[in-house]
Amino acid sequence: MKCMICKHGEMEKGFTTITLEKDGATILFKHVPALLCDNCGEKYIDEKITSELLTKAQEIVKNGVEVDIREYTPAA
Ligand SMILES: [Zn+2]
């Protein structure tokens, strides 16, 4: 699959770190599966994973956490 941004790079499966900021809280998810462009570094994350991360972030914020770094673990 070619990159849609630069049209040159190839998208390769890899992992990335996602930072979400919500209500003044910062939540970092490490090791999130993504497609990464080997040319421009653009990353594509599955919509399902994105909404999963947002849900998790919401729960974390609800618990009053301001900064949280966690490993991404796929939902069973
Ligand atoms: Zn690219």
Instruction: Give 11-60 pLDDT, tens digit per residue.
Output: 999 999 999 998 899 999 999 999 999 999 999 999 999 999 999 999 99
| Ligand 1 center to 58 CA (angstroms) | 31
| Ligand 1 center to 37 CA (angstroms) | 5
| Ligand 1 center to 65 CA (angstroms) | 35
User: Which domains, and CATH codes, for the chain?
Assistant: 11-71 (3.10.20.860)
Q: What is the pLDDT of residue 76?
A: 64
Q: Are 25 and 67 in contact (CB under 8 A)?
A: yes
> Residue 32 contacts by C-beta under 8 Å, 6 or more apart in sequence?
15, 16, 17, 18, 45, 49, 53, 72
Total count of residues recorded for the chain? 76
| Ligand 1 center to 34 CA (angstroms) | 13
> Residue 74 contacts by C-beta under 8 Å, 6 or more apart in sequence?
33
